[in-house]
Structure 1
Amino acid sequence: MHQDQDAHRGRLIASVAATVISLACGTNYVYSAWAPQFAEKLRLSTTESNLIGLFGNLGMYTMGVPIGMFVDDRGSRPAVLAGAFLLAIGYVPLCISFEKAAGSVPVLCFFSYLTGLGGCMAFAGAVKTSALNWPSHRGTATAFPLAGFGLSAFFFSFVGAILFPGSTSSFLLLLAWGTFGLTSIGYFFLKVYPQVSYQEVPTQSSEPSSSGRARSRSVTEPDVRGVKLLFCLDFWQLFSIMAILAGTGLMTINNIGNDANALWKHYDPSVDETFLVSHQQIHVSILSVFNFVGRLLSGIGSDYLVKTLRASRIWCLAVACLIFLLAQICALQIEMPHKLVFVSGLSGLAYGFLFGVFPSIVAETFGIGGLSQNWGFMTLAPVASGNVFNLLYGRIYDHHSVVEPDGTRSCDDGIACYRSAYAVTSTACALGLFITIYIIHYQRTQYLKAKDKLDEED
């Protein structure tokens, strides 16, 4: 009994540590808070600025598979420690480049990539530890580190606004040492405590069959990983939804600052730089807070769907699609800068719903054993879609921008600066909703077929 209590306490501490680590891993989402000033000082176009932000996203997603394999094989802690150092190594040179107002785009992209890679490594370890420590409540257990990841942008924006108001250079230093410190502290408390009462594979059901004999069938948790995923229809269905929705969310996350600038400069040309910076940070914070709320709601809510309503977790993805679609419609219509909160809030909520439930769906569909590497495969989806949507936004915004004699760029056309980009993502979200409803119908059909087959055998 005493050992069980100690193990339970250890799991709770490990969950807190995983959440703290995750809080340091989502700083790519705060890019919009410093990107416009960074681009202005280094004389970068919107497309070049988006490219730097995109490489941060690429760092988070492209190495997910090998990192996942490493975590599944070697455990979480080495990945977390390596992630802490990569976060610092990535942000410090970006700060130096801003202070010197110099730096080539390829080099800046490289260091931005390292920040994403560091976040990916530490986050993979945090989520895997939470899933292993609470196997009977995976949705809830993973919801907290996932929510911490979503709250990261708000946390750093808030701390930066309090300690270093209006100082982009100090804010970049905060990102460097803050992410390193939080991840390093969490590293010491991140441990897995096996539960002897939980059996991952096969457990015998005690329910008798119609013939009076026990149900000799065993309920075995699936274990699909690696190359096997590529031959699995479930994987491609989920992959397509992730690509569409994550790419849509990343476009707004990386560019909400540009949205705010365009609307405010058109609405009131007299606004100064300090005013614009503060409103960029406000929208980043709104995105982050609603991202946090969405992750908690979908993670915990998906457990309620499965355990109480006996429904599929995929319904959370349908909700995410609907909220994303509503956000795109708002972005196409809102011309008053005061109302842009609907775009940032709804986008953050939808993005949170998407990522709050997706790891649980992956674990449930393909098994907990290969969760990290399978999640790595799934996070390859936003690489292509995020690339397309972000560069599309940049091209459209640059097309409407004016280059000043000193090399700075600005767009004063209001919603026209970016409206066409949201027209594309609106269509994508509608397609994502269709695919999600199809998956729910497909799974229901497969379940009924399997049930009829079992009844016939009985």
Structure 2
Amino acid sequence: MVLCASYIRFRRALTYLLEPDINNVGSISQALVAKGNPNYDEAVAVQWQATQVSLISITNFSGRVLIGLASDYTKNILRLPRSYCISLVCTLFIISQAMAFSTDDITQLWKASLALGLAYGGLSGVESGLFPSITIDWFGLSHFSETWGIVCLSPFIGGNLFSIAFGRNLDAHTPSSSDPPPAAPFLGAAISEPQCLEGRACYAASLQMTTAACCLVLALGIWAAKRDRMRAAALAEIARKPTVDWDEQS
């Protein structure tokens, strides 16, 4: 039961961490476009948003393919448990969060988007291919449907909590609706709705939170991989021990 709870917490945390970034990449793009820009144009912001979504989609697909190849390589060539790939995905998470945190120019956000898409694709590949196999290895096939159902439902609460935290942090840096919306002097137009104009400060605290959580999940992933390796070594040792044929001795 302890192992089951740890596994569910681990998988739940992985999905939680990417929810704010995937769902709010548009807000991040808007914040960077609006920072120090007296000629803010929502049409330009929308174009940058579409660019980030496209980049994430492309690397999302690539991540799904690469994690499958990495899983087979780990299992068949390196002779290590597939659960080692969990640590690889966690590392991609940390890289994507660090890159997003260090970006304060919209023209450089594509790097973080590529890393985020690759990490999210790796997570999706792990969820659809690797996690079911690990679930069977850890808990057996007899209760697979029940156990996998619990695992799949686990992000329901946490994903919303992380997204709410992102939204609250963004709202804390956004002018209140009672204030007049800032105008773009060159265009003579006002921003149609309250918008955070502080750039990276609009979401930096949220990324710090998710980065810290990613590090915790990485520690859990390393623990899980080492546990699997120790168990595999113990089973191999048992298999090498000679068996005694009592009928032959008698």
Q: Considering the TM-score relative to the shorter chain, is it more than 0.5? A: yes
| Structure 1 alignment gaps of length 5 or more | 1-230
| Match 1:439 to one of 215, 221, 224 | 224
Q: Which residue of 1 aligns with 2:32?
A: 263
Name the SS of the counterpart of 1:437 in structure 2: helix
Report deviation, 1:370.
Answer: 6.5
2:83·2:228 contact (CA, 8 Å) conserved in 1? no
Distance 2:108 2:127 in 1: 30
Give the C-alpha shift of residue 292 in structure 1. Answer: 0.9
Answer whether contact 2:67 2:122 (CA < 8 A) is retained: yes
Aligned to 1:426: 211
In the aligned structure 2, how far is the partner of 1:432 from the partner of 1:251?
Answer: 16
Q: Is the 8 A contact 1:267 1:337 kept in 2?
A: no
Partner in structure 1 of residue 163 of structure 2:
390
Q: 1:411 aligns with which of 188, 196, 199?
A: 196
| Structure 2 residue aligned with 1:215 | none
Matching residue's letter, 1:392: A
Give the C-alpha shift of residue 357 in structure 1: 2.1
Distance, in Å, in 2 between the alignment partners of 1:340 and 1:369 is: 46
Distance 1:342 1:261, change over 3 A: same
Deviation per CA, 1:93-130, whole angstroms, max 9, x where unpaired?
Answer: xxxxxxxxxxxxxxxxxxxxxxxxxxxxxxxxxxxxxx
TM superposition shift of 1:457:
4.7
Residue pair 2:170, 2:203 contacting (<8 A) in 1 also? yes
Residues 174 and 195 in structure 2, CA contact (< 8 A), matched pair in contact too = yes
Where 1:320 maps in the other structure, the secondary structure is helix
Deviations 1:186-210 (A, max 9, x none): xxxxxxxxxxxxxxxxxxxxxxxxx
| SS of match in other structure, 2:35 | helix
Shift in CA distance, 352/374, structure 1 to aligned 2, threshold 3 Å: farther
Partner of 2:50: 281
**Structure 1 residues 359 and 373, CA gap change in structure 2 (3 angstroms):** farther
Q: Residues 424 and 447 from structure 1, CA distance in 2 versus in 1: closer, same or farther, beyond 3 angstroms?
A: same
5+ long unaligned stretches in structure 2: 182-191, 244-250
CA positional deviation for 1:388: 1.8
Distance 1:375 1:352, change over 3 A: farther
Q: Distance in 2 between matches of 1:292 and 1:236?
A: 30
Deviation of 1:371 after TM superposition, in Å, equals: 5.7
Out of 92, 112, 115, the position equivalent to 1:323 is 92
The yes-or-no answer on 1:333 pairing with 2:102 is yes
Q: What is the Cα deviation at residue 380 of structure 1?
A: 2.2
Of structures 1 and 2, the one with the larger relative CO (CA 8 A, separation 6+) is: 2
Q: Could you say which residue in structure 2 is the equivalent of 1:243?
A: 12
Superposed, which structure 2 residues align to 1:164-313 within 5 Å? Answer: 231=1, 233=3, 235-313=4-82
Worse-superposed segment, 289-298 or 448-457: 448-457
> Partner of 2:119 in structure 1?
350
Change (3 A) 1:450 1:349: same
Q: How far off its partner does 1:432 sit?
A: 0.8
Counterparts of 2:172 and 2:211, CA distance in 1? 21
Distance 1:238-1:354 versus aligned 2 partners, 3 A rule: farther
- Tell me how many residue pairs correspond in the alignment: 227
Report the Cα distance in structure 2 between the residues aligned to 1:304 and 1:427, rounded to whole angstroms.
29
Which residue pairs with 2:188 in the alignment? none
Match of 2:246 in 1: none
Aligned residue type for 1:384: I
User: Matched residues in 2 for 1:262 and 1:363: separation?
Assistant: 39
> What letter corresponds to residue 248 of structure 1 in structure 2?
L
- Asked if the contact 2:12/2:154 (under 8 Å) is kept, the reply is yes
Q: Percent identity?
A: 30
The structural deviation recorded for 1:277 is 1.0
Contact between 1:267 and 1:336, CA under 8 Å: does it hold in 2? no
Q: Give the superposition deviation at 1:245.
A: 1.9
Q: CA deviation at 1:369?
A: 7.5
TM-score between the two structures when normalised by the length of structure 1: 0.47
* CA distance in structure 2 between the aligned counterparts of 1:362 and 1:419, rounded to whole angstroms: 31
SS of residue matched to 2:241: helix
Letter in 1 for 2:10: I
Q: Aligned-residue CA RMSD in angstroms?
A: 2.2
